[in-house]
Amino acid sequence: MNLDIFIRNIEYGNYFTNQLTLSATLLGLLIATSTFLLQSGFSSFEYSRTMFLKYYVRLTKFLFLLLTYNIIISIIFLYLECSCIIAFAFHSFFSLVFIKYFLDFYSHKGYIYTINSTKFNPRKSRLGKYLRYISNLGFIQVLIIITLLSIVIIYPLWIGDFREFTARQGFISTVISFVFCVVALIKILPQYFNFSEQEYKQKENNELSKEIEVDITQELSILKETLIKNGRKELEDTIQTNNIDGEVEIHLSDKKDEAFFVINVWFKSSNVEQIVRWVEKYTYDFFKELDDTNVDINSFVLSYFLHIEGVDEAKMYFIRAKRTELEQSFRKSYDPTEFVKSVNNKVIDDLFRSV
C-alpha cells in the first residue's frame, strides 16, 4: 500500500489519543531511568563524574522536550479549535529550543571525544569552542546531526503548508519524535556501560587506589590535558605573551587538593599599569576556561611570579576562587579589572595595589 494513502486513511483522533498515552508512558520511563543514572548511577565513578553527568543531563533534556512536544501536539489536535495555527506556532517554538538542546548535547559529546583523542580545541570564544567541539566529532557525525535536525524540524513542514500545521503533519512529526526517543532510550544503558568500562580501564591502567589524594591527582591530570587541548600551550613550554612583550609558562602542582597553577611571567616592559592590565585579562580568560571544564575540582588558584625588567625580585600576584564564586563574578562583570576586584581571596604585591 502506498505510504501517502496509508497516512490519509488514518483516524487522527484515535492516533493522537494513543500517542498521548504512549508518550506519557515513555516520559515516565525516561524519568525513572534518568533519576537512577543521575542520583546513583555514577556513585561508583571516581573520575570525571561531572563530565558524564552532564552528558546524561543534556541527553535527557532534549528527550524530555521531544516527548513533551508529542503530548502537547496531541492535546492541541484533540481538544483545541484553530488547531493548525496553534500547532504551527508551537512547532516553531519547539524547533528553536530543540536545536539548542540538541547541539548542547553534541557539543558536550564532542568535548568528551576531544579529551579522549588527539584532537584539539584552540578556540578562545565560548561560541567558537562550542562549535569546534561539534566539528571535532568528524564529518560523518556532523552530517548525521544536520540530517536529524532536518528530519525532526523541517520535514514535517515541508510535506504541508508552511503557514499552518495540519493533523497529517502532526502525525508525521510525532511519529518521528517518538521513534527518535525510543532509539535514544535503547542506547542509554549501553552508553552507560561503555562509560563504566572506560572508568574501569582508567583505574586498572593507573593502579589507582580509593584515597581522595589519588582521585584529585587523576582529576588534575585530566584538567591539564583538557587545557592543553584547548590551546593552553604554556602548560607544556614557555611561550610568548599576547599584547605585551614577554614570556609565560605554567606549572600545575600535583601536590595540592585543588587546581594550583604556578605562573611565571617574564616582562620586557617596566610599565606597571600595562603589566597589571595584562595580568587581569589573563586571569579573567584563564578562570573563564577553568569554569567551563568538566572535572570534579571546584577550587582554583593562580599564583603569579612576575619578573619585571629592572626589578630585582619577582613580584607576587595570588588569586584563589571557588567555582561558585567564579560563576557569580562572571555574571556580575565582563570587564577583567572589575572581575578581579570582585574575587575576595587574593594577595597582591604592594607594587600593584595603587594601579
Percentage of the chain beyond pLDDT 90 is 41
Confidence of residue 240 (pLDDT cuts 50, 70, 90): very high
pLDDT of residue 203: 47
Residue 222 predicted with pLDDT over 90? no
Check: pTM over 0.85? Answer yes or no. Answer: no
pLDDT of residue 354: 77
pLDDT of residue 30: 84
pLDDT of residue 101: 94
Residues facing residue 348 across a β-bridge:
317
Residue 46 predicted with pLDDT over 90? no
Strand order in the sheet with 346-348: 239-240, 246-253, 259-267, 299-308, 315-322, 346-348
Higher-pLDDT residue of 36 and 121 is 121
Higher-pLDDT residue of 39 and 235 is 235
User: Which of 258, 275, 280 is closest to 343 using CA atoms?
Assistant: 280
pLDDT digits (tens, 9 = 90+) for 118-140: 788 888 788 898 999 999 999 99
pLDDT of residue 211: 42
Locus of grid cell 574501569: 200
Higher-pLDDT residue of 238 and 118 is 238
Domain limits, the chain: 3-206, 220-353
Cell numbers linked to 58: 543534556
User: Which of 344, 333, 182, 345 is closest to 260 using CA atoms?
Assistant: 345
Which of 85-89, 118-122, 262-266 is predicted most confidently? 262-266
pLDDT of residue 244: 87
pLDDT digits (tens, 9 = 90+) for 277-336: 999 999 999 999 998 888 878 889 999 999 998 888 899 999 999 988 888 888 888 899
pLDDT of residue 174: 93
Residues 209-224 have a mean pLDDT of: 67
DSSP string, 48-87: -HHHHHHHHHHHHHHHHHHHHHHHHHHHHHHH-SSHHHHH
**Amino acid letter, residue 349:** D
pLDDT of residue 212: 40
Sign of CA dihedral 328, 225, 130, 104: negative
Residue 4 predicted with pLDDT over 80? no
Cell numbers linked to 102: 540538541
Cell numbers linked to 12: 487522527
pLDDT digits (tens, 9 = 90+) for 155-199: 998 887 767 788 888 999 999 999 999 888 887 767 666 665 555
pLDDT digits (tens, 9 = 90+) for 199-209: 544 444 444 33
Q: Name which of 76-80, 82-86, 248-252 the model is least confident about.
A: 82-86
Residues 73-83 have a mean pLDDT of: 86
Confidence of residue 81 (pLDDT cuts 50, 70, 90): confident
Cα–Cα distance between 100 and 93 in angstroms, integer? 11
Neighbours of 56 (CB within 10 A): 21
pLDDT of residue 42: 58
User: Which of 295, 113, 114, 289 is closest to 219 using CA atoms?
Assistant: 295
Encode burial over 67-94: b for 16+ CB neighbours within 10 A, e otherwise: bebbbbbbebbbeeeebbebbbebbeeb
The number of angstroms, rounded, from the C-alpha of 219 to the middle of its chain's C-alpha atoms is 17
